[in-house]
Structure 1
């Protein structure tokens, strides 16, 4: 009887350890869930939303397929003064080598106005032309007047990108792919 109990115990323990290892590998290299604590991405992403972040896409591609409009999660650069270590979420606005500016509420990329149907309201302040250095991204929140972003602390190094926000799984009435 005691021998049977030990066998059953070790069988369950083995299953639990395998499940934990798989879970850890998925969270580290494939995808992870994130809770959104701020209003900087309103109306696209609301406070309390829960998202799936695709990490494998950026691992495989080596951050080479980043595009304007991608919503990315990243470790903030030192100038962002994030003492809590919580990653940021913002939208990619300008890519390496592009010049970004804000004039009278309109964002310009290389002198051309950027079509932005996703923003809550136009930025209240102007931003002088800035050329994004190589291996860097210029990011902004969709809630332009309530977002701490590249306008204030500069570009984000590409290597700081954790992954792309792809899917909202909570709240249930707003489940779907992010755009």
Structure 2
């Protein structure tokens, strides 16, 4: 049986652990479930990823980042089952000219090597310039992704986290 002092110490330990856990979850790391195949083969339906929430407070978005962001309202209207958050790859940043043609992504006139793609895109997207304060995102499963080629840009202030690791299921675990 615990005496009063031991009980107090255990209570303090548990409370501080909870404060630390929720503090980390609010400001540092959050887990996200990915229900669709829009990021295959990088992330498959049912995978869970961890995102660093502070990343975009400290650093500018970069081409190649796998980002978690708030679903734009215009996208929710297009989806039968809208999600609160989406996970896509940032392929262009403010000031970039982005285009999809001949089965390839072009940024600022140069063809981008994308070894992570499921298939080469079967669509064409005319060249557009990413506005200041925005990014342009695409899913790695280009032909099965409701993404920037359909609905346009994502405002930088809508970026919630940079996904950096898959942790579930264990056989899919790895860095992104």
TM-score, normalised relative to structure 2: 0.88
Alignment partners' CA distance in 2, 1:70 and 1:85:
20
Pick aligned residue for 1:157 from 152, 155, 176: 155
User: Residue 48 of structure 1: SS of its match in structure 2?
Assistant: coil
Pick aligned residue for 2:72 from 58, 77, 81: 77
CA-CA distance at 1:23 after TM superposition: 1.1
CA-CA distance at 1:13 after TM superposition: 3.8
Structure 2 unpaired stretches of 5+? none
Q: Deviation per CA, 1:12-59: give whole Å up to 9, x if none.
A: 443332222111110111111122111000001111112111122222
Pick aligned residue for 1:19 from 17, 20, 40: 17
User: Residue 92 of structure 1: SS of its match in structure 2?
Assistant: strand
User: Residue 55 of structure 2: SS of its match in structure 1?
Assistant: helix
Alignment partners' CA distance in 1, 2:119 and 2:7:
59
Q: Deviation per CA, 1:79-136: give whole Å up to 9, x if none.
A: 2116755210000111101111111211111221111111101111111111100010
RMSD of aligned Cα (Å): 2.1
Alignment partners' CA distance in 1, 2:38 and 2:47:
12
CA-CA distance at 1:78 after TM superposition: 1.9
1:138 maps to 136
Pick aligned residue for 1:41 from 39, 42, 62: 39
TM-score, normalised relative to structure 1: 0.87
User: Residue 25 of structure 2: SS of its match in structure 1?
Assistant: helix
Alignment partners' CA distance in 2, 1:118 and 1:129:
22
Alignment partners' CA distance in 1, 2:102 and 2:87:
25
Q: How many residues align?
A: 173
